[in-house]
A = this chain, B = another copy of it.
Amino acid sequence: MKKFKDYKLETALELNRQDTLASYREKFIVSDEKVIYLDGNSLGRLPRATINHLDRVIQHEWGSRLIRSWNEGWYERSNRIGAKIAALIGAHPDEVILSDSTSVNLYKLAHAAIRHAAPRKKVVSDVFNFPSDLYVLQGIIEQLGNTHHLDLIPSRDNVVIHLEEVRKVIDKETALVSLSHVSFKSAFLYDMQKITRIAHNKGALILWDLSHSAGVVPIHLNQSDVDLAVGCTYKYLNGGPGAPAFLYVRKELQQKLFSPIWGWFGDQKPFDFRLQYQPAKSLKRFMAGTPPILSLTALEPSLDIIHDAGLSKIREKSIRQTEYMIFLIKELLEPQGFTLGTPLSHKVRGSHVSLRHPEAFRICQALIHPDGSEFIIIPDFREPDHIRLGLSPLYTSYSDIFYAIRILKDIVKEKKFEKFDSARQQVT
């Protein structure tokens, strides 16, 4: 763990100077250098190129070309941008498509897989999965008449999931294993290939949610023999708020699975307007309605930036940054009552760090509403006691990390959080 010189600002600045990806920060809008943004794992920053790219879509494609744009690129856009994502996650270009939200995509694929796997009755997930994924699975089971059941792999320590626990839960009754590649709270990273093999050995299909790994962790879907995947595009892929999600179906499964939502964009010939649905012979059968073109197009410039930087370099920096953050946490924050909610080994860790503290909520308020401090720090609070700090290597600097940890220390040491109300003001 002792890979860094000391706990001083100068070391952070030195790490910045050594950072070969440092110049990529300029490709993103950083409108206020006083804001240290550690929530790129929730909503990625706006790439500069996206502004002009969107302007062209709005004014030229919509404003001038109008309906003609469907034949001039819109119709193929879900596939074309899907292919750029495919190259980031180790899939063939015709195995990834943009469509709907992550939840709706998970619904379509999980529903299809569970029906395909009949008469198997068990669906496996884990206690780390993003709740929306669990909700979607619960909903499918309910609508199938509760003949199926959902088994959640437990975690002993709330930080990692042990392989033996996985092995205990997946059995020959298992229809589908549905897991998040990187856990949204602890950042625990599964060994995709190993877990996929365990599922396949029992004859189960596997569906990975790549929301917290796509764009920051190298993924090899084909090589890992993955059946199905979904993922969000507004986190490390910087596609903008609510950008459409992607879905992946392994080539040989594409004609064996059927979407439960028979929308016209999933039909073989939508513009024939026949009265009877016939599923497309390709991945398109998993589309439903007309995709939101503006939000879809917003995603493209960021994918080009990620390809340009290269995923292995991004991962390398991400590991170095999480290591540096943990190094500082151990020294500066653990004595203040913080505990690490994230795996120590980078081999099982994504690109965010979860800190736990009984006053996490009020500490987050103090970070966002600083008093005299030179920086506004933007983290994510996650119930009940998690402060989630996301490191997005294309624009997060080592000094961002340094300042964030130093300010966290000050907030707790000087009890600056006490003036904030602990009542949650959720907008739900």
On A, residues with C-beta under 8 Å from B are 29, 31-32, 35, 37, 39, 42-43, 45-46, 50-51, 54-55, 58-59, 61-64, 66-71, 74-76, 100-104, 107, 111, 115, 127, 130-132, 134-136, 138-139, 142-143, 152, 185, 232, 234, 240-245, 259-277, 288-296, 298, 368, 378, 380, 382-383, 424, 426-428
Task: Let me know if B289 and A245 touch, CB within 8 A.
Answer: yes
Task: Let me know if B50 and A66 touch, CB within 8 A.
Answer: no
Q: How far is the CA of A268 from the CA of B139 in the complex (A)?
A: 15
Task: Let me know if A69 and B241 touch, CB within 8 A.
Answer: yes
Task: Let me know if B43 and A67 touch, CB within 8 A.
Answer: yes
Q: Of B54, B64, B382, which one neighbours A32 at CB under 8 angstroms?
A: B64
Given contacts A51-B58, A104-B289, A242-B290, contact A29 B135 (CB under 8 A): no
Kindly list 5 other residue pairs between chains A and B, CB separation below 8 angstroms, not including A29-B59, A100-B289. Answer: A69-B241, A76-B427, A270-B428, A273-B382, A292-B294
The 3 closest A-B pairs by CB, nearest first: A101-B289, A139-B262, A103-B263
Q: How far is the CA of A393 from the CA of B160 in the complex (A)?
A: 60
Q: How far is the CA of A428 from the CA of B271 in the complex (A)?
A: 8
Q: How far is the CA of A74 from the CA of B242 in the complex (A)?
A: 10
Given contacts A271-B428, A288-B107, A295-B294, contact A138 B241 (CB under 8 A): no
**Cβ contacts under 8 Å, A101 to chain B:** 100, 263, 288-291
Given contacts A131-B264, A262-B135, A267-B135, contact A63 B29 (CB under 8 A): yes
Task: Let me know if B139 and A260 touch, CB within 8 A.
Answer: yes
Q: Give 12 pairs: A residue, B residue, CB < 8 Å, sorted on A.
A: A45-B63, A50-B58, A55-B55, A75-B427, A131-B277, A132-B264, A132-B289, A135-B267, A136-B262, A138-B277, A242-B292, A294-B294
